[in-house]
Amino acid sequence: MGNLPYDTTETQLRDFFRVMGSVSNVHIVHDDQTHKPKGFAVVIYHDSAAAASAARDLNGHEYHGRTLRVEMSDFQSAGLMMLTPAQIETLPPVARGEINAQRQAIEARLGLKRSRDAEDDLALPPATKKRRVADTDARAKAIAAVKKDIIAAVKVAKEDYVKWRLQFEPTASEIEDLQAWARSAGYVLHYKRKVDGDETQHWIKVYW
Which of 122, 144, 177 is where one domain is finished? 122
Q: What is residue 112's predicted lDDT score, i.e. its pLDDT?
A: 54
Q: Reply yes or no on whether the pLDDT at 74 is more than 70.
A: yes
Q: Is residue 199 part of a domain?
A: yes
Which of 62, 89, 122 is where one domain is finished? 122
Q: Domain count of the chain?
A: 2
CATH code for position 203: 3.30.1370
**pLDDT tens by residue, 103-128:** 777 666 655 544 444 444 445 556 65
Q: Are residues 84 and 168 in the same domain?
A: no
What range does the domain containing 29 cover?
Answer: 10-122
Q: Are residues 139 and 88 in the same domain?
A: no
Buried b (16+ CB within 10 A) or exposed e, 124-142: eeeeeeeeeeeeeeeeeee
Q: Is residue 1 part of a domain?
A: no
Q: What is residue 86's predicted lDDT score, i.e. its pLDDT?
A: 74
CA angle, 179 as apex, 27 and 173 as ends, to 5°? 35
Average pLDDT over all residues of the chain:
80
Q: Is residue 3 part of a domain?
A: no
Kindly state the average pLDDT of the residues 131-152. Answer: 79
- Cα dihedral 137, 178, 64, 55 in deg (nearest 10): -160
Q: Say which amino acid occupies 37.
A: P
**pLDDT tens by residue, 84-108:** 767 777 878 777 777 777 777 766 6
Q: Are residues 160 and 116 in the same domain?
A: no
- Percentage of the chain surpassing pLDDT 90? 3
Q: Are residues 115 and 30 in the same domain?
A: yes
Q: Are residues 154 and 165 in the same domain?
A: yes
Beta strands in the chain (DSSP E): 23-30, 37-45, 62-63, 66-67, 161-166, 188-196, 199-207
Q: Are residues 28 and 107 in the same domain?
A: yes
Distance separating alpha carbons of residues 95 and 99, to the nearest angstrom = 6
CATH code for position 86: 3.30.70.330
Q: Is residue 2 part of a domain?
A: no
Q: Is residue 16 part of a domain?
A: yes
More confident call, 100 vs 176: 176
Which of 96, 122, 148 is where one domain is finished? 122
Burial of 148 (0-12, 13-18, 19+ CB in 10 A): exposed
Q: Are residues 72 and 129 in the same domain?
A: no
Q: Are residues 102 and 117 in the same domain?
A: yes
